[in-house]
């Protein structure tokens, strides 16, 4: 059995302790600098105050100042930080990991560069690291709550080394946590990162319905139209990034599950109800919103590519409108007519 050290005790990393422990592995859970309260409570009775679940018995809990002790002797490192912890993970964690120890991360996102290209966090960490590490990632439609509750989930593990991926699958896979493997890290990572921006876009329709007819009102036609446009734009973005189209399955599934719950649905709904971006953010004060980061980075990258003649802004009307709402303070006014196409044989 393997010794697994999870660094970052966020909800998804903590949920992954369930399949890991149930498969007989030793699990060490290390809190980030922001996780002290979480670790303190876990040490009392295994209860995770954010995930709102009791974690499996037998996990060893460490504070951030004990990280090197937890890493020592580990067979696998799992990175459990959000996109807001990417630089901390690069600067404070990766240098402490032996080159021969594989790393797998739950962090979803990407970074836009000056020339408009977008790189995955795996690429970014490789650039920042002095050591050539064996970096891998998890993508796909899986919420932490439902994973902890053993609901059937299907994800992808991606990385460059096939044998490492097969070993990681053997460690984590259960009858309820099912894992596909891919060496197309760009395809998997881009697809699941983009869903954050587009989940916000789709849930604008939820807020628009509530604005017209009251809280709780839902119209599926408008949500479906925005979902379809999102998939269309995500596919074009995936192509621009150089990812394989087959990996859109993970982005589409992740988009679906994100629309139906969580922080991104809240911000999209508030904006659709008519709140300005500043008002919505004030109402959600203290909540981390990766959708805002991804939407801004993606729109910025597309504009740069358009300036170079490598992309057409007309292909991304929904993304551009979301960016206008977030960064230009414009009210929600879905550009429905721009979604129309004519296709004749």
What is residue 262's predicted lDDT score, i.e. its pLDDT? 77
- 301 pLDDT band, cuts 50/70/90, is very high
Q: Does residue 285 have a pLDDT over 90? A: no
Average pLDDT over residues 197-207: 96
Domain architecture of the chain: domains with CATH: 3-183 (3.40.50.720), 186-339 (1.10.1040.10)
C-alpha distances out from residue 68 to 28, 65, 71, 210, 231, Å: 12, 8, 5, 50, 42
> What does the pLDDT look like over 219-268, one tens digit per residue?
899 999 999 999 999 999 999 988 999 999 999 999 999 998 778 899 99
Residue 217 has pLDDT above 80, yes or no: yes
Mean pLDDT value of segment 15-27: 98
Model confidence, pTM: 0.92
The residues near 194 (Cβ < 8 Å, ≥ 6 apart) are 234, 237, 238, 251, 294, 298
What pLDDT, in 10s, does the model give residues 169-195? 999 999 999 999 999 999 999 999 999
Q: Distance between CA 42 and CA 63 in Å, rounded?
A: 11
Between 131 and 115, whose confidence is greater? 115
């Amino acid at each position: 059995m393997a010794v697994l050290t999870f660094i970052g005790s966020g909800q998804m990393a903590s949920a992954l302790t369930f399949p890991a422990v149930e498969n007989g592995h030793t699990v060490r859970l290390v809190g980030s600098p922001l996780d002290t309260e979480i670790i303190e409570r876990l040490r009392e009775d295994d209860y995770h105050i954010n995930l709102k679940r009791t974690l499996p018995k037998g996990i060893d809990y460490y504070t951030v100042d004990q990280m090197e002790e937890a890493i020592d002797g580990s067979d696998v490192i799992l990175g459990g930080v959000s996109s807001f912890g990417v630089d901390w993970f690069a600067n404070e964690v990766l240098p402490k990991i032996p080159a021969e120890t594989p790393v797998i991360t739950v962090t979803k996102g990407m970074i836009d560069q000056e020339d408009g290209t977008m790189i995955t966090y795996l690429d970014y960490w490789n650039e920042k690291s002095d050591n050539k590490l064996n970096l891998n990632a998890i993508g796909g439609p899986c919420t932490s709550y439902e994973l902890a509750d053993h609901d059937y989930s299907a994800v992808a593990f991606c990385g460059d080394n096939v044998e490492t991926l097969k070993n990681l699958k053997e460690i984590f896979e259960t009858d309820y946590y099912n894992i596909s493997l891919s060496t197309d890290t760009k395809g998997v990572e881009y697809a699941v990162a983009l869903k954050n921006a587009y989940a916000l876009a789709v849930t604008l329709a939820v807020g628009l319905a509530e604005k017209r007819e009251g809280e709780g009102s839902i119209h599926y036609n408008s949500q479906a139209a925005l979902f379809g446009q999102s998939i269309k734009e995500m596919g074009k973005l995936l192509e621009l990034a150089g990812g394989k189209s087959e990996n859109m399955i993970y982005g589409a599934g992740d988009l679906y599950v994100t629309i139906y719950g969580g922080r991104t649905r809240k911000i999209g709904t508030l904006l659709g109800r008519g709140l300005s971006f500043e008002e919505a953010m004030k109402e959600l004060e203290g909540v981390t919103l990766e959708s805002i980061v991804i939407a801004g980075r993606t729109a910025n990258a597309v504009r740069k590519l358009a300036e170079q003649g490598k992309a057409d802004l007309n292909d991304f009307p929904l993304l551009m409108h979301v960016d206008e709402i977030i960064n230009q303070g414009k009210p929600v006014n879905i550009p429905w007519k721009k979604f129309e196409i004519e296709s004749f044989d």
